[in-house]
Amino acid sequence: MCLYWRMIILAAVLFPVGRAACDLWAQQGAANPSILHIQHSVTTSKTGFPQFLYMYHLLDGAKSAAEAQALIGTISLENYSPNFSEVLWLLAYWQGQCPVNDQSLKGAYFIWSDILKNPSQSLSEFRVDLHFPHPLPMTGCVGFVFGEGTGGPTPEEVTMSADLDLSYEPASADTNAVVDLSGEYCFGQNWGCQNATADDEKGFAAPIPMPAGRLVELFGDISDSTFDGTRNFGPLPTGKAWGAVNDFYLLPGGCGKFGENLNHQGFPNPVLLSTLYSWLPDDALHLESVPLERKIPRTGNGKAALQKQVERIFPDPMTVNSGDCMIVIYGRKGNGATDNETQVKALLLP
């Protein structure tokens, strides 16, 4: 739901948004690869989507080329009230010069992000277990960033925690490329997110023009969550079940009708889900499907966050030409209001 904060943090060359930072020197052992242990916990009740940045210096800093081989551990979000909240987690690096405390994230390159939502008074934990047979590019100047948003009109206390191990090695060059495929769309209400629809039959298809390269991996996570059932948002789902549709397609030659179906902000307009699938050309490549479903108990309600890691490794690299288009389809099954979000990235070799 924190659309504007997310747009700022992902395009942070323009706007300073930070709240706290820490400059830490990483401990490197003799083992190969080296391990950067990232461990932080913050409890806050601040409004305005507070952001926290922690800097690490590896090797010779921003002048050193490195490569990330795995990211393993847990992230969590604990609500101390029944209000909806969420946390966006990011891993970034800088080239050339390592900033001491760059809250604006100017010049940062983001290589990983996850989203974690919690619509209840509870602890929501998520396991991160990502492996990169073709490593992610990075340098020795690394930033771990996270920020939180709550849905209520008054400050609500939450605790955000991360315990992650980043495996990395020195590299001769950072030639691999990470392409961001993330997006957020609201269903069951006509406001919020990057775009929204109250029509249960409609969905969204986000087109992302791709650079040339060889696609070897999709990675990240998906969080499709209800809200908290308060009047701040749309209603909770009812009936037997609710669910979400998350599909990734590669379209050779361009975005077609998907590229024409954009509003003035550049986000897709809602269209009947059946129509979106009919727009896919015959040569569209279906890369990944992540269906999610929640059965609603008879004595309970549909309040839940449906969350799943995405890690699709392509043993045979897939050729992508400049101008090819990635299509990410967001759909919803059932009724009620939900916040459907992907934090998925594509890794391309030269």
What's the average pLDDT block by block, 10 residues per block, for the chain (350 residues)? 46 32 44 90 88 95 96 97 95 93 87 97 97 97 92 80 98 89 97 97 98 98 96 95 98 98 98 98 98 94 96 98 98 97 98
Token output for 260: 């024409």
CATH classification (class only), 1-172: mainly beta
> Can you give the pLDDT at residue 144?
97
pLDDT of amino acid 102: 76
| Predicted pLDDT at 49 | 83
pLDDT value at residue 150? 75
Asked if the domains 1-172 and 176-350 are classified in one and the same CATH topology, the answer is yes
**SS3 label, residue 314:** strand
Question: By C-alpha distance, which of 329, 305, 2, 345 is closest to 182?
Answer: 345
Both tokens assigned to 326: 């990635």
State residue 312's pLDDT score: 98
- Give 143's strand partners: 55, 92
List the chain domain ranges.
1-172, 176-350
What CA–CA distance (Å, rounded) separates 315 from 299? 46
Cα distances (angstroms) measured from residue 284 to each of 52, 182, 209, 245, 279: 40, 20, 14, 18, 10
Q: Return the closest-CA partner of residue 184 out of 206, 167, 200, 199.
A: 206
Q: Give the SS3 label for residue 298.
A: coil
Q: Give the right CATH number for 176-350 from 1.10.10, 2.60.120, 4.10.240, 2.40.10.
A: 2.60.120
